[in-house]
Amino acid sequence: MYRIVRKEVLAPRIKSFLIEAPEIAAKAKPGHFVVVRLDEKGERIPLTIADYDAASGTIELVVQEVGRTTYQMGMLEAGQYIQDVVGPLGTPMHIEKVDCVVFVAGGLGVAPIYPKARRHYEIGSRVVSLIGAQNKDLLIMRDRMEKVSHEVRYSTDDGSFGHHGFVTELLKEMLDSGAKISEVVAVGPLVMMRAACRVTEPFGVKTIVSLNPIMVDGTGMCGSCRVTVGGETKFSCVDGPAFDGHKVDFGELIARQNRFLAEERLAMEHFTRGIAPEREECRCHQG
């Protein structure tokens, strides 16, 4: 059992959990994730390790409520326990000092980006962070990203903060202005990562994306998370989740991601009706 040490609401339907998990905290690196099961009957969901501290033996998970399990997790409070937290899983991101790394975060993508940006900052790379969200309230972890970036620019879809438009437009602006970028790391919704790759490809700038296909075991056994990268089949949970974005078949991945939509809607409907009728408005569903 894993104790929740602290819970914080970062934005509407986005919550941060500090969890006691000393063995995971001791081994975690930027790019790792865990698979969480809330209780004995719970489904297994992958969540990125957004931060870790070996000294205090804690890891941080940032969770957006999009369906039954994430919504259920959002109801947990400090002092309560999570049944299983398995990890660290995945291949950590290869990080070495470069002249200029640009992080492009869409929505919740800022959580997986934070430990990578911090590491680059620590080893002396120039870090530029471009952070986008639908509106100002959903721009999370701003203070922390500003501490590990030499420059931060924001965008919102509704124009409530920063550039009015998509975060990938900020990236295009930088490239068009002749900025020398060693590599781009883009994390967020699949369509946003695909857009970032389309922007960088003509400029020949290496672009790493972190893929989030549906995962079940998270250890390379079930094949659920397979993706096509450079014409080869890869398992995102063990070969990734970080890949060369210019080689990813995003069309196939986007189609596969939607294959359980009907079941996911049903699970959420049963959950809101049976357990939390006062939160019926949360039936709304990503996608």
Ligand X SMILES: Cc1cc2nc3c(=O)[nH]c(=O)nc-3n(C[C@H](O)[C@H](O)[C@H](O)COP(=O)(O)OP(=O)(O)OC[C@H]3O[C@@H](n4cnc5c(N)ncnc54)[C@H](O)[C@@H]3O)c2cc1C
Residues that bind ligand X (CB under 6 A): 33, 45-48, 62-64, 66-71, 108, 111, 212-215, 241, 257, 261, 264, 268, 286-287
| Interaction partner, residue 5 (ligand X, ligand FES, none; CB < 5-8 Å by kind) | none
> Binding string, 198-227, against ligand FES, x = CB under 6 A?
-----------------xxxx-xxxxxx--
**Cβ proximity to ligand FES, 5 vs 238, nearer residue:** 238
Three-class SS state of 23 = helix
For residue 244, the minimal CB distance to ligand X (Å) is 17
**Cβ proximity to ligand FES, 162 vs 240, nearer residue:** 240
Instruction: Give the helix/strand (H/E) hosting 85.
Output: strand 84-89
For residue 16, the minimal CB distance to ligand X (Å) is 10
Q: Does 44 contact ligand FES by CB under 6 A?
A: no
Q: Describe the strand order of the beta sheet including 2-11 as a list of residue ranges.
A: 51-53, 58-64, 14-20, 2-11, 81-82
Which of 278, 260, 277 shows the shortest CA–CA distance to 67?
260
**Cβ proximity to ligand FES, 199 vs 209, nearer residue:** 209
Specify the pairing of strand 163-164 against strand 151-156: parallel
**Cβ proximity to ligand X, 150 vs 283, nearer residue:** 283
Distance CA 120, CA 6 (A): 27
| Interaction partner, residue 134 (ligand FES, ligand X, none; CB < 5-8 Å by kind) | none
**Cβ proximity to ligand X, 128 vs 268, nearer residue:** 268
Whether the CB-CB separation of 54 and 32 falls below 8 Å is answered with: no
Three-class SS state of 32 = coil
Whether the CB-CB separation of 224 and 213 falls below 8 Å is answered with: yes
Taking CB positions, which residue lies at the least distance from ligand X? 67
Binding ligand FES by CB under 6 A: which of 104, 110, 211, 237? Answer: 237
Q: Does 255 contact ligand FES by CB under 6 A?
A: no
Give the chain's radius of gyration (CA, Å): 18
Which of 52, 129, 119, 39 shows the shortest CA–CA distance to 85?
39
For residue 263, the minimal CB distance to ligand X (Å) is 8
Q: Does 128 contact ligand FES by CB under 6 A?
A: no
202 cis-preceded (ω within 30 degrees of 0): no
Distance CA 149, CA 130 (A): 10
As given in the structure block, the two tokens for residue 231 are 């014409």
Residues lying near ligand FES in the complex (CB under 6 A): 215-218, 220-225, 235, 237
